[in-house]
């Protein structure tokens, strides 16, 4: 069964980080294997410092009418399950969500997508790495933005009634891959999920 889920939310239900300074600090915070912070920082127009500011995101999103959380969800962590198998299941869930978002990117117009780690559209269509920062964006209508560029995704999920923690406590085994999709027209996700299955067959 597909792990894909979608929930309509309101614009007011999208929670932003407290400041642009916090966004940049989060991007540059060291983590395992990346002592200088996120390697996507400054390399795509979908990531800081070239992505819109929080105030600019609010203006952009206000131009749309419908807002959706689109996410994959999987339960992991059973003591009786092989860790390698669990890791493979998690990777498969992430790929499912990523593939669906790329399907939306390729097939829909008038949508604004916040997903993953910056924008990699040019790489995906064989045009090489992002033109950032030396040249203008080649495909601004297809650009996607990192989920971390302005948004408090944990608070947004909790506001939508989906309990979530950034660092789940022991005993919490729900893992997700999350996107926000804004559209100027109402989206029928039952139909889109079906079309996605047909699209990739």
- Give the other-Cβ count within 10 Å of 60's Cβ: 13
The pLDDT of residue 133 is: 92
CB 151 within 8 A of CB 73: no
How many whole angstroms separate alpha carbon 87 and alpha carbon 91? 6
Residue 107, both tokens: 């097939």
pLDDT at 199: 84
Tell me how many domains the chain contains.
1
What residues contact residue 123 under an 8 Å CB cut-off, 6+ apart? 129, 130
In terms of residue numbers, what domain contains 52? 4-200
Q: Give, for all 201 residues of the chain, the pLDDT tens digit.
A: 578 999 999 999 999 999 999 999 999 999 888 898 999 999 999 999 999 999 999 999 999 999 999 999 888 776 666 778 878 888 999 999 999 999 999 999 999 999 988 888 999 999 999 999 999 999 999 999 998 889 999 999 999 999 886 655 555 578 889 999 999 999 999 999 999 999 886
Tokens of 8: 């309509």
Beta bridge pairs of residue 179: 70, 115
Helix (H, G, I), strand (E, B) or coil at 75: strand
d(CA 98, CA 136): 25
Per-residue pLDDT, 83: 75
Beta bridge partners of 174: 75
Cβ atoms of residues 120 and 130 within 8 Å: yes
């Amino acid at each position: 069964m597909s792990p894909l889920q979608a929930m309509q939310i309101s614009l007011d239900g999208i929670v932003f980080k407290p400041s642009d300074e916090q966004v940049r600090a989060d991007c540059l915070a060291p983590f395992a294997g990346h002592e200088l912070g996120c390697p996507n920082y400054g390399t795509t127009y979908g990531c800081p410092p070239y992505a819109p500011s929080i105030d600019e995101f609010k203006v952009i999103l206000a131009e749309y009418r419908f807002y959706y959380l689109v996410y994959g969800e999987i339960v992991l962590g059973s003591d009786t399950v092989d860790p390698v198998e669990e890791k493979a299941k998690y990777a498969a869930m992430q790929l499912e969500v990523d593939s669906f978002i790329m399907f939306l990117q390729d097939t829909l117009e008038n949508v604004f997508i916040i997903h993953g780690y910056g924008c990699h559209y040019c790489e995906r269509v064989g045009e090489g790495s992002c033109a950032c920062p030396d040249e203008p964006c080649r495909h601004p209508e297809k650009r996607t933005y990192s989920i971390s560029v302005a948004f408090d995704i944990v608070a947004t999920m909790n506001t939508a009634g989906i309990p979530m923690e950034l660092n789940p406590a022991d005993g919490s085994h729900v893992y997700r891959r999350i996107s926000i999709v804004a559209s100027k027209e109402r989206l029928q996700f039952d139909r889109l999920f079906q079309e996605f299955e047909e699209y990739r067959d």
